Amino acid sequence: MILEHGGRLNAAVKRWGIARQHWLDLSTGINPLSWPVPEIPAHLWQRLPEADDGLNEIIRDSYAAPAHADCEPVAGSQAAIMALPRLRQPCCVGIPVIGYQEHAYHWRQAGHTIVSISAAHIHAEGDECWLDELDVLVWINPNNPTGERIPTATLLRWHARLQQRGGWLIVDEAFIDSTPQFSLCAHSGLPGLLILRSLGKFYGLAGVRAGAVLGDATIVQALRKLLGPWTLSGPARYLMAQALQDLDWQAQTRARLLADSQRLAHILQSAGLSPLGGTALFQTVQLDSAAQLAEQLAAQGVLVRSFAEPGMLRFGLAADEQQWQRLQSALPAQLGD
Ligand SMILES: Cc1ncc(COP(=O)(O)O)c(C=O)c1O
């Protein structure tokens, strides 16, 4: 089975009979103004990628990870999401009920027992005994699609409790780049802690398929062995190194994304839709008629991501003024349940 995701523009073209170039695709949380890709030196297409090309040090530096944390570049954080469940014998894995569905899917596929972690678990003040039935906790911070962010101190406390019994905490930080101050990477030298990063969202380079795993050296080494050589292509390694070192672009992009995300929240609020939560790259609203509104928007060539139970719509950012206007006029006046 292949799970559904945003960004399925070809399917939308077929279903709605609207040509590809006429769509406003807001169905992903990918930065629409991506990092400007430079020319790639010819030798990178010709030669095999070399693991000691300095990329690991650049990743560690960029994410402020300590020198004793190991790190492995991967073909998108998805590659790690699919491989990590194979590094443990069948065990009990906690995964947020609402969140990127690939985690639960791959842990279940590998024979593990999934424990759904709900808001009631994580907001039970002072009572974190739910952690004691888990061997692994996967958390998405900030979460996609709710945007919920768990404070670093809480995540570290969860990690310490799991680690007392040799448990792991895996934090998916695919959407953290706009707010790096909340990343757990500075702690990635701790045993049993793994952090997933992505080049797909903030850098807008989802097509490159590049990301990284940082953390416990024993686990990262096992992952490296499982993935084998050349998991990331030479051109992807080069682009990743360049993008991670482009500090000016990163600073400008952070400011722009945060402002654009606020603009998006404001547009949704003006249409009577209160954002449930969001990040710098998307806003999510909860409403019973989510599927209906998604259809209404799609009929006008505006693609958003719809979730059932609870009904939610996730809106990504528009790329320019014309797109913002288009979204605004596609939303019916004063919605909301
Ligand atoms: C929360 C989350 N983690 C990880 C991924 C995988 O991203 P990538 O493989 O491009 O790094 C996604 C993709 O949508 C995501 O939403």
Asked if the domains 9-35+248-335 and 47-245 are classified in one and the same CATH topology, the answer is no
Q: Determine the 3-state secondary structure of 115 from DSSP.
A: strand
With a 6 A CB cut-off, is 99 part of the ligand 1 pocket?
Answer: no
With a 6 A CB cut-off, is 172 part of the ligand 1 pocket?
Answer: yes
Domain ranges of the chain: 9-35+248-335, 47-245
- Residue 31 and residue 25: Cα distance in Å, rounded? 12
| Amino acid identity, position 206 | A
Residue 172 Cα to ligand 1 middle (Å)? 8
| SS3 track for 130-147 | HHHHCCEEEEECCCCCCC
Domain topology for 9-35+248-335: Aspartate Aminotransferase, domain 1 (3.90.1150)
Task: Give the pLDDT of residue 335.
Answer: 58
- Residue 126 and residue 198: Cα distance in Å, rounded? 32
Task: Give the pLDDT of residue 334.
Answer: 61
With a 6 A CB cut-off, is 200 part of the ligand 1 pocket?
Answer: yes
Task: Give the pLDDT of residue 314.
Answer: 97
Token duo for residue 273: 């839709």
The CA distances from residue 331 to 269, 272, 274, 280, 297, in Å, are 11, 10, 13, 21, 7
What are the tens digits of pLDDT across the range 230-284? 999 999 999 999 999 999 999 999 999 999 999 999 999 999 998 899 999 999 9
With a 6 A CB cut-off, is 78 part of the ligand 1 pocket?
Answer: yes
Indicate if the pLDDT at residue 301 is higher than 90. yes
| Nearest CA residue ID for atom 6, ligand 1 | 78
Residue 297 Cα to ligand 1 middle (Å)? 25
Residue 174 Cα to ligand 1 middle (Å)? 6
With a 6 A CB cut-off, is 84 part of the ligand 1 pocket?
Answer: no
With a 6 A CB cut-off, is 100 part of the ligand 1 pocket?
Answer: yes
Q: Report the atom number in ligand 1 closest to the C-alpha of 198.
A: 11
With a 6 A CB cut-off, is 198 part of the ligand 1 pocket?
Answer: yes
Task: Give the pLDDT of residue 279.
Answer: 98
| Nearest CA residue ID for atom 3, ligand 1 | 174
Which band of pLDDT confidence, cut at 50, 70 and 90, is reported for residue 332?
Answer: confident
Segment holding 170, helix H or strand E: strand 168-172
Residue 275 Cα to ligand 1 middle (Å)? 21
Residue 337 Cα to ligand 1 middle (Å)? 30
Residue 167 and residue 173 in contact, taking contact as beta carbons nearer than 8 Å: no
Angle formed at CA 68 by CA 66 and CA 73, multiple of 5 degrees: 80
Q: What is the pTM of this model?
A: 0.97
With a 6 A CB cut-off, is 177 part of the ligand 1 pocket?
Answer: no
Q: Provide CB contacts within 8 A for 109, sequence distance 6+.
A: 85
Residue 30 Cα to ligand 1 middle (Å)? 10
Q: Report the atom number in ligand 1 closest to the C-alpha of 211.
A: 11
What are the tens digits of pLDDT across the range 133-168? 999 999 999 999 999 999 999 999 999 999 999 999
Which band of pLDDT confidence, cut at 50, 70 and 90, is reported for residue 122?
Answer: confident
User: ω into residue 36 within 30 of 0, thus cis?
Assistant: no
CATH node for 47-245 = 3.40.640.10
